[in-house]
Structure 1
């Protein structure tokens, strides 16, 4: 259950102000059918979490316990640093004529493949030697992190996203750094 809750919380937080949220907001404005867009986004999140969880379990069988601790610490450290880095503009896929379901699913999958949330899912699965709970937590957390963008769209831009993103990035970076120092036996 710890793997579920940790992954749920972390993957939801790292979506704050992320390019995936911007894409979801843009697609929410473009398509009048948010249900189909939400299904497409949920499918993409599920596939990414599945790949991360299964990959993490495989990696977890190859490396030692100390390396697993470092892998988890680095996933958090780089996720936090990624939240502090400036965002590149997001392509809102204006030329895609595939409808809300496929545009949401394929666009988000392409944008998010190999992103920080997927590495958090993989590192949690590797550390826990379980793929089911990190998969479910990663899927639910990512969906929860992206749904406000689909629902509130341009109203989300009025919220203080940047300060929240910086605060969350600092906290996650500090936790990752502390865990990395612990993995090296320095703390």
Structure 2
């Protein structure tokens, strides 16, 4: 349960103001069909984060817990710094122009937008640190859905009410705390 809850919270906070959240807003404004967009976000996130989590678990097995503790600690602190840089979305390249259904456009766009994104990298790190892996993937996916589904349904009204800079600062603080705790070896996942 710990892996699920931590993964959900970290990704939900990291996703606030992220380019994929902006993509959800663009898709909602363009297509005005929320359910296929939400299902597309879910499909893309499950696939992307499952691959990211597997990569994290594989890296952990390959380098071992001692090396990985330092890699993860520094990575979490780097994520904190990255959180303070707001994402922007180029509207011309935000949505594929091919003739596909809303679900497939959303799935394709989200999968690609998530490549190398903060939340994907966080999923790699969480997959390396926490077990079971399915709890991490379900948690990061839940975090993505918590951050993106309301934007699809309520879009513009929400983005005007949420102080994105404050959310980014809180997320950065959480990532710094995770990084420091990881570097100090706090947590059962490094006590092998």
Q: CA deviation at 1:176?
A: 4.2
Q: CA deviation at 1:166?
A: 3.2
Select 1:112's aligned residue among 114, 127, 138. 114
Select 1:147's aligned residue among 139, 146, 149. 149
Aligned equivalents of 2:137 and 2:175: distance in 1?
A: 23
2:189 — aligned with what?
A: none
Aligned equivalents of 1:108 and 1:137: distance in 2?
A: 17
Select 1:131's aligned residue among 130, 133, 154. 133
Q: CA deviation at 1:157?
A: 2.8
Q: Secondary structure at the match of 2:15?
A: coil
CA shift in 2, pair 1:79/1:148, >3 Å: farther
Q: For structure 1, list consecutive stretches of 5 or more residues without a partner in the other structure.
A: none
Q: CA deviation at 1:173?
A: 4.2
Q: CA deviation at 1:24?
A: 0.1
Contact persistence 1:48–1:118 (CA under 8 A): yes
Aligned equivalents of 1:53 and 1:43: distance in 2?
A: 15
114-123 or 166-175, larger mean C-alpha shift: 166-175
1:158 — aligned with what?
A: 160
Q: CA deviation at 1:65?
A: 1.6
RMSD: 2.0
Aligned equivalents of 1:121 and 1:170: distance in 2?
A: 16
Q: Does 1:52 align with 2:52?
A: yes
1:35 — aligned with what?
A: 35
Q: CA deviation at 1:177?
A: 4.4
Q: For structure 2, list consecutive stretches of 5 or more residues without a partner in the other structure.
A: 186-192
Select 1:174's aligned residue among 170, 176, 180. 176
Contact persistence 2:95–2:109 (CA under 8 A): yes
TM-score scaled by length of structure 2: 0.85
Q: Secondary structure at the match of 1:87?
A: coil
Q: How many residues align?
A: 183
CA shift in 2, pair 1:54/1:9, >3 Å: same
Q: CA deviation at 1:125?
A: 2.0
Aligned equivalents of 1:160 and 1:42: distance in 2?
A: 23
Aligned equivalents of 1:99 and 1:140: distance in 2?
A: 24
